[in-house]
Structure 1
Amino acid sequence: MGEYNGEEYVSVSEAHPPRVDTFKKVSVLPLVFLIFYEVSGGPFGVEDSVQAAGPLLALLGFLVFPIIWSVPEALITAELGTMFPVNGGYVVWVSSALGPFWGFQQGWMKWLSGVIDNALYPVLFLDYLKSAIPALGGGLPRIMAVIALTLFLTYLNYRGLTIVGWVAVLLGIFSIIPFVVMGLVAIPKLKPSRWLVVSLHNVDWNLYLNTLFWNLNYWDSISTLSGEVEKPKKTLPKALFYALILVVVGYFFPLLIGTGAVPLDRELWTDGYFSDIAKIVGGVWLRWWIQGAAAMSNMGMFVAEMNSDSFQLLGMAERGMLPECFGKRSHHGTPLVGILFSASGVLLLSWLSFQEIVAAENFLYCFGMILEFIAFIRLRVKHPAASRPYKIPVGTVGAVLMCTPPTILIGVVLALSQLKIMVVSLIAIVIGLVMQPCLTYVDRKRWIKFSISSDLPDLHGANQEGAHSLID
């Protein structure tokens, strides 16, 4: 990651809402673990990559895929997140580059993708516990447990971002340590030849790519709460760099240990198989530790995702894209209506299966990322003199080349989508295309109150000649 502070650059107007400044900002370490949980949360969920493609391709995937996808997305987040250090993140970027209509579409697709993703975590949490508590396997007890867990984690979000950040640190440490222990215990049982097993004629490319994509995206989600970060222009790039290392190592090391320590049976490599490997190499005690870490990891991913989703809605409300009520904060500084709205979406979608959730969120996320890549390049072309406290050290051509491999990957992921998921996702996109003009009409008729914060740049004029709304 490179920095650029040329004197010819001018400042981009920033938001400094006075009442928000009274709340404690998020520092580097909590931000690293918030990003960690936005993206990863540990190796839980990577097992399907071995089932789909075998050990060698799984290991190579978690080394090569971050270069193709994670690094470009993290770099773009660092540049645009420091260029616009305000809540709303990618909604602000797309609005500034392409106008408020496309900014709203970006917000709708990314929020819906995030809520679909978050619906997964209470379900996975209970899946890891049902072996000890069989009643959680289905029926009314499971439904009540999903509701209770969602309400508890929602309350954590309500209490404040600082609390959530340090909870993420504690959960992250608890989730990582058992894999370090498993690696040490497994050393005598490692057989390097097992890492080289590959069968190219027996690869489920759809499952393989979806697993890699799901486990290594969402780097941009942290941008939606940039306004809550302490010194975001320095803190955000640093946190993204540390989190990138943590995520890649957190995936590759357990896969290396798991595939090398036990004989290969690809059919066994499904969600939760790491706990079985822990029992084989270390005993029942290590299995319970891994299962507990997995359960806690799902809690961490839930609170991190809900933070991102709710602050995104707050940022959109501050720009007049959503009713003013979505900008309302609790006395803890958290977006009250945004949290309640996101929690409701989670409860409504929690009935979906794991495979449907992953496929649907990937489909919507892909469209959002295309808009981000376009916004990134367009802002480079339209506003080369805008202040970029953290600038990727490439020119316009380099920016286009950097976005090309992940764009091709997006095309492959979309092409491999099931027809059912494609139809449902396209319907969701059409709803967003209709919703924005409807909200604009409601605003014009003054049926519901909308407002634009006076502390924020007028993004509605970002596409006008001279960019008077973007540049001071």
Structure 2
Amino acid sequence: MGKTGGKSISFFGLVAMGIGCMLGTSWLLLTGTWLDTAGGPLNLAVAFILCIIIELPFAFAYMEAIPMFPLPGGEVVYSYAAFGPRGGFAVGWAGILMNTIVFCWVDLAAISLLDELFPALKETAVLYHVGDFPVTLPNLVLQLLLAGAILWVQIKGANVCASLAKIATVVLLVMCAIGLAVCFAHFDPAVYAADGGMEFDFAGSASLLSLLVFSVAGWETVSKAAADATGPAARKAGAALITCLILVTGILCLVSTAVAGCMPWREAVGRTAPFADVLVSITGLPWVRLLFLVTAFVGAVGVMNSTLYSSAQMLYGLSRFALVSRKFAVLHPKYGTPVRCICFTAVFVVLTPFTGKLFFIPFINVASLTTIVMWVMSFAAVLWLRKTRSNLRRPVSMPGGRVTAVFGVLASVFLAGNILLPMSPGALSGLEYGLAAALAALGWVLYQFRDRSVGAGEQEKLIFGDLLAGELPATPCKIEEK
């Protein structure tokens, strides 16, 4: 199956796409929310440590899957090979939803940043209210323009997307490094411990863990971008993925820790940008806040770029594989990009501005749920393929062997239970269950309109192309290595 988007993505391009999808605005906008949810900085630190530990088995599974199936569609390919059409569609739709929801949330977050820079935007020409949230004409126009600009970049192709991701990534990393150096130079352990900051409560850490799944999601974007990489970059896609996970999770934890060590953590709760506020307090320079708000806006653009790319690639894969209508598989005549897939994703962002900020927090939790579905099914696919298609070519094996496999199963159960069981600390609310159900129903409708004329053999050829043409039978069984 051919690639989309023109020129190849380099190793740094892969890392930039992953970091650009992960770092975004969370480090600036969610620090107060994280501290409040965790109930203190110690609980927050524990939650971040658990986040890395729990996600590593899933990342290791991707390390094995990516070089085994370096094809457009990412998780769709892995799950189809293991569980057939329904499995492939389920994980694909979960991935589309996760990236699309993140796109919508970041579009809201970007406008929140502009509201901080220009307060008149949230007060001028109020059209109506959705609950307690006003919808203003300036914000509405700006959100649509921003989404339109990202849409144009996507249509131009993968190499343009990667170039934008590189710029955003460099700006974010440099600014975060400078800010962290200043904060830790003034870190006060007494401030960190104030207001019960050193009192540990696992329930607080577990509650935050559900939010962190959203905040650190995005490293799996590398699995989709790997299809547009060649040579050394393609062989090192797994390393790029692990680099993104550890680097970004570490930065997010350090930013929150730095804030709690320079400002009593309860004071950070409710602030839009506590990290920037701390830096202003330390330096005495009001323009520092403006600088970091602008930096976060650049990060928002990077996230929107990466998530729309990933979402469109997954929908393109579903269409090419006849798991949804094949009308989505039409490519742009000049740039070779899946233009209809890009536009379908953009529809959600067109609707989001009209809801004000009603879904600002619900988006986070629903995105966490879809992310867990995608990770767990991809992990299960790797394990199941070891049993049913043991002779598949595996250039890289999941590190840790059976220990990683067992731990990954336990992590899957914990993550799913923590967000789905009503009595758990990180459970969804009624609105969030309703939103998730509505999006699942939309997926069911799309699946019903798939191209049913495509047989199992032809469908597998569409998915695996020349890589494994003729070697994957319609039902799982052992096959000969090519």
Classify the TM-score, shorter chain.
Answer: 0.7 to 0.9
Q: 1:191 to 1:428 in 2, by over 3 A?
A: same
How far 1:418 sits from its partner (Å)?
A: 1.1
- C-alpha distance in 2 between matches for 1:270 and 1:455: 54
Alignment of 1:148-163 (within 5 A): 148-163=145-160
Residue type of the alignment partner of 1:133: F
Are the aligned partners of 1:135 and 1:142 in contact in 2 as well (CA < 8 Å)? no
| C-alpha distance after superposition, 1:249-306 (max 9, x if no partner) | 3213222321112233256355422221221122212211111111111110000000
Q: 1:471 to 1:323 in 2, by over 3 A?
A: farther
Alignment of 1:354-393 (within 5 A): 354-393=360-399
Match of residue 126 from structure 2: none
How far 1:243 sits from its partner (Å)?
A: 1.8
1:217 aligns with 2:217: yes
SS in 1 for 2:117: coil
Q: 1:398 to 1:126 in 2, by over 3 A?
A: closer
Residue type of the alignment partner of 2:141: M
421-430 or 281-290, which moves further after superposition? 421-430
Are the aligned partners of 2:31 and 2:275 in contact in 1 as well (CA < 8 Å)? no
- C-alpha distance in 2 between matches for 1:187 and 1:22: 42
Residue type of the alignment partner of 2:90: Q
Structure 1 unmatched runs, 5+: 1-14, 446-450
How far 1:149 sits from its partner (Å)?
A: 0.8
- C-alpha distance in 2 between matches for 1:205 and 1:59: 8
Q: Which of 277, 296, 300 is matched with 1:298 structurally? A: 300
How far 1:334 sits from its partner (Å)?
A: 2.1
SS in 1 for 2:379: helix
- C-alpha distance in 2 between matches for 1:430 and 1:40: 30
Match of residue 344 from structure 1: 347
Are the aligned partners of 1:359 and 1:417 in contact in 2 as well (CA < 8 Å)? yes
CA RMSD of aligned residues (A): 2.8
Match of residue 8 from structure 1: none
1:66 aligns with 2:68: no
How far 1:142 sits from its partner (Å)?
A: 1.0
| C-alpha distance after superposition, 1:401-427 (max 9, x if no partner) | 333224312211222111231233134
Residue type of the alignment partner of 2:342: I
| C-alpha distance after superposition, 1:179-237 (max 9, x if no partner) | 32223333453212334423446965675223222112233233223321123541301
Are the aligned partners of 2:165 and 2:302 in contact in 1 as well (CA < 8 Å)? yes
Q: Which of 22, 28, 32 is matched with 1:39 structurally? A: 22
- C-alpha distance in 2 between matches for 1:314 and 1:50: 39
Match of residue 236 from structure 1: 237
| C-alpha distance after superposition, 1:24-67 (max 9, x if no partner) | 10001111011112233362334322122211111232233111
Q: Which of 433, 437, 440 is matched with 1:429 structurally? A: 440
How far 1:310 sits from its partner (Å)?
A: 0.7
1:121 aligns with 2:100: no
Residue type of the alignment partner of 2:43: L
How far 1:164 sits from its partner (Å)?
A: 1.6
| C-alpha distance after superposition, 1:352-403 (max 9, x if no partner) | 4211111222223323333223212111211222111121134456423333
- C-alpha distance in 2 between matches for 1:345 and 1:467: 42
How far 1:248 sits from its partner (Å)?
A: 2.7
Q: 1:109 to 1:462 in 2, by over 3 A?
A: farther
- C-alpha distance in 1 between matches for 2:235 and 2:302: 25
Q: 1:124 to 1:116 in 2, by over 3 A?
A: same
Alignment of 1:278-317 (within 5 A): 278-282=279-283, 283-317=285-319
- C-alpha distance in 1 between matches for 2:442 and 2:169: 37
Residue type of the alignment partner of 2:265: L
Q: 1:270 to 1:387 in 2, by over 3 A?
A: farther
- C-alpha distance in 2 between matches for 1:93 and 1:39: 22
Q: Which of 320, 328, 332 is matched with 1:326 structurally? A: 328
SS in 1 for 2:220: helix
- C-alpha distance in 2 between matches for 1:459 and 1:321: 20
Q: 1:202 to 1:79 in 2, by over 3 A?
A: closer
Match of residue 180 from structure 2: 183
Match of residue 9 from structure 1: none
1:130 aligns with 2:132: no
Match of residue 101 from structure 1: 86
293-302 or 119-128, which moves further after superposition? 119-128
SS in 1 for 2:236: helix
Are the aligned partners of 2:35 and 2:44 in contact in 1 as well (CA < 8 Å)? yes
Residue type of the alignment partner of 2:300: N
Q: 1:370 to 1:430 in 2, by over 3 A?
A: farther
Q: 1:201 to 1:222 in 2, by over 3 A?
A: closer
How far 1:431 sits from its partner (Å)?
A: 4.1
TM-score normalised by structure 2 residue count: 0.84
- C-alpha distance in 2 between matches for 1:362 and 1:393: 25
Residue type of the alignment partner of 1:56: L
SS in 1 for 2:9: coil
- C-alpha distance in 1 between matches for 2:324 and 2:65: 22
256-265 or 160-169, which moves further after superposition? 256-265
- C-alpha distance in 2 between matches for 1:148 and 1:259: 36
- C-alpha distance in 2 between matches for 1:408 and 1:471: 36
Q: 1:72 to 1:201 in 2, by over 3 A?
A: closer
How far 1:319 sits from its partner (Å)?
A: 1.6
- C-alpha distance in 2 between matches for 1:217 and 1:62: 13
Are the aligned partners of 1:55 and 1:194 in contact in 2 as well (CA < 8 Å)? no
How far 1:94 sits from its partner (Å)?
A: 0.6
How far 1:455 sits from its partner (Å)?
A: 4.3
Count of residue pairs brought into register by the alignment: 447
- C-alpha distance in 2 between matches for 1:335 and 1:300: 20
Match of residue 169 from structure 1: 166
Match of residue 79 from structure 1: 64
